[in-house]
Amino acid sequence: MLIEILSPGNKKHDLERKKDLYEHFGVQEYWIIDPETKLAIGYVLDNMKYKRIAEDTGFIKSPLLQASFTF
């Protein structure tokens, strides 16, 4: 599981390039969090491609860890 906290000046890089790298290297579960809005978007690896599993504010429910987190 990997959680990426977006950088204010680097959002495009974080949302595109890093996501592609994590997918390529097989990170099973990936979350992107925007610290300004607390938006969390989750992905799981399915056949070597990321499938979006969730979008919520201030909340993550990890299928991999079978746990939930609030922030």
pLDDT in tens, 43-58: 999 999 999 999 999 9
On average, the pLDDT of the chain sits at 93
Write down the domain spans for the chain.
Answer: 1-30
pLDDT at 28: 98
User: With 90 as the cut, is the pLDDT of residue 15 above it?
Assistant: no
DSSP secondary structure of 19-43: HHHHHHTT-SEEEEEETTTTEEEEE
What pTM was computed for the model?
0.89
Give the pairing type, strands 29-34 and 2-5: parallel
Q: What residues does 62 pair with on adjacent strands? A: 67
Radius of gyration, alpha carbons of the chain: 12
